[in-house]
Amino acid sequence: MSEAHVTTRPVQRWVTPVLIAAIVAIFALCMALAPRPSGADAEAFGGTDAAVTEVLADKGVEPWFEPLFSPDSGEIESGLFALQAALGAGAFGFVLGNLRGRRAERSKQD
């Protein structure tokens, strides 16, 4: 088996500050160009769920069922959503890790 020798150049001193400045500039540009809410109850980024619900309500479509649980506040709803995302990511990572471990075991046996 041949060993690959990797030669690396030292990072220039200006690279990190330039990258940080570029990231800050991108965020500042996004904040400057972001849409502004026009009314007191308006949201700049309402999401597709709210938009579809509004369109369906305008057409007179009735919901098929009611939610089983309705959180008291938006913070609780966001927290539950984040918890759901974290659990899903953990399960996904667990499955991928197991599959990779199985593949490694098979390659050791061969």
Sign of CA dihedral 36, 32, 46, 74: negative
Task: Flag whether 102 is in a domain.
Answer: yes
Task: Flag whether 98 is in a domain.
Answer: yes
Predicted TM-score of the model (pTM): 0.46
Is the pLDDT score of 81 beyond 80? yes
Q: How many domains does the chain have?
A: 1
The pLDDT of residue 87 is 98
Q: Which residue has the higher pLDDT, 88 or 40?
A: 88
Task: Flag whether 24 is in a domain.
Answer: no
Task: Flag whether 92 is in a domain.
Answer: yes
The pLDDT of residue 65 is 87
Task: Flag whether 93 is in a domain.
Answer: yes
Range(s) of the domain holding residue 110: 73-110
Task: Flag whether 87 is in a domain.
Answer: yes
In three state form, how does the secondary structure of the chain look?
CCCCCCCCCCCCCCHHHHHHHHHHHHHHHHHHHCCCCCCCCCCCCCCHHHHHHHHHHHHCCCCCCCCCCCCCCHHHHHHHHHHHHHHHHHHHHHHHHHHHHHHHHHHHHC
Average pLDDT over residues 39-57: 78
The pLDDT of residue 6 is 65
Is the pLDDT score of 102 beyond 70? yes
Is the pLDDT score of 54 beyond 70? yes
* pLDDT above 70 as % of the chain: 86
Task: Flag whether 84 is in a domain.
Answer: yes
